[in-house]
Structure 1
Amino acid sequence: MTRPVIGIFGGTFNPVHIGHLRAAIEVAEALSLAGVEFVPAARPPHKSGEPMLDFELRLLLCRLAVEAVDGFRVNAMEADRPGPSYTCDTLAELREARPGEEFCFILGMGDLLGLATWKRGLQLGRMASLAVHAREGLGLEVFTVFLKSNAAAMGAAPTDDPAVWELPEGRHITFVPVARLDVSASDIRERWRQKKRIDGLLSEAVLRELKQREDALEAAWAR
């Protein structure tokens, strides 16, 4: 019997916005995932200098963002982990705790291109399938060039479909084109600093919560 595949969508989510949600929905539909779990990073190693809302608030905002989406949930596993939040450690812990499930790590094209700088980044496909969405506007050609350059390190091999490459143990890395929404957390933070409206860039539930957390936003984002 085929085991269910759960999408793992990690990130700082500072704050979570409609671009995150839409990308996760489209990847889940394209790959027929059994569900998607948002996994906020408690201490992201690549963004240590970024002005950031505290973990508990980012966790709450993610829960508000996905609460009305069937099959979506938030996983708070990073809360108690000491040290930086490395994706390889997250996937290893998930595999150990839930041996009856398969996982598919969802990442943007920009993350894929920087994977060699991550801890065991080019080895992630040995722990989970990978789904790469083109939120940054980069397409299949960039995906293909990257995989050709890193095939040996990743254990990847092409298939008849240029958007799908084989990975070890029957897994795959798949390019998933998604609707391009030019929304970023950094742009939302900058708009907030300039006292511009951020309506429409976040779910209504997230926006309402942020409006009630002016002190937290001031402490984190005004720097």
Structure 2
Amino acid sequence: SALEIAEITGVLRHLLKIQKVLLQVNRQYILSASQDDAYRTEPRFQLQGSYRNMNKLAEKVVPVMNEAELEALLDDHYAGEAQTLTSGAEHNLLKLAELRGRMTPQQAARWEEIKRGFARVQLLGGAAESDPVARVTGQLSLLSERMGDIARTIETAGKNGARVEEPVEEPEVAETATLTHHVVEHLGQLGARLDRIGELLARPPHPAPVPAPPPVTVAAPPAADLSPYLEKLDRTLAT
């Protein structure tokens, strides 16, 4: 009947949309898994879009579902999948929202914050933050990156100004000021780190303990043998 055909068509339409999302998830999972850790710009993506996920979602699809209900079904499914991960549930769900084009402004801000923190750890090469040398190295790398950003911003602003013969646009001025503020902030932190290293290097080395000399044993002179004298004395007294 026409009603049955409409229901079958509706279910298939929903399944095709789910399949599209799962293909995006699986593609990102493969891309993340094949990437070397040293070149990552964001945390590893661990959610999957396998046939198992398709089966779980397909059994919950009904013809009368609308778009919002279908998106909610995907949200609930992957929220449960993220809880099975040993770590990283938050950033995996944020990356999924980015893939689906459903990030809220709050989620977008949080995702950028996570990526910035991940980039700082990458600059340190995974070294512990308690290592002053590693932190200085990270600060120098970040400072170099910020200086490059400022140079590119100034170059772009100069090209725009030369093209239209107008002052630099306000957004570009604000961006340059922000980058300059970051550089000054990191220079201050870098100076403190260098001062700390200088203090450590200026400390006099602790002298190595000198072992005590071994005790000198003085050998006692051998006792004199008085037996002959005593025998002679006995003979004298006997006479």
From the two aligned structures, give the one with the greater helix fraction. 2
Fold similarity call, TM over 0.5:
no
User: Which of structures 1 and 2 has the larger relative contact order (alpha carbons within 8 angstroms, sep 6+)?
Assistant: 1
TM-score w.r.t. the length of structure 2 is: 0.24
Instruction: Name which one, 1 or 2, has greater alpha-carbon Rg.
Output: 2
From the two aligned structures, give the one with the greater strand fraction. 1
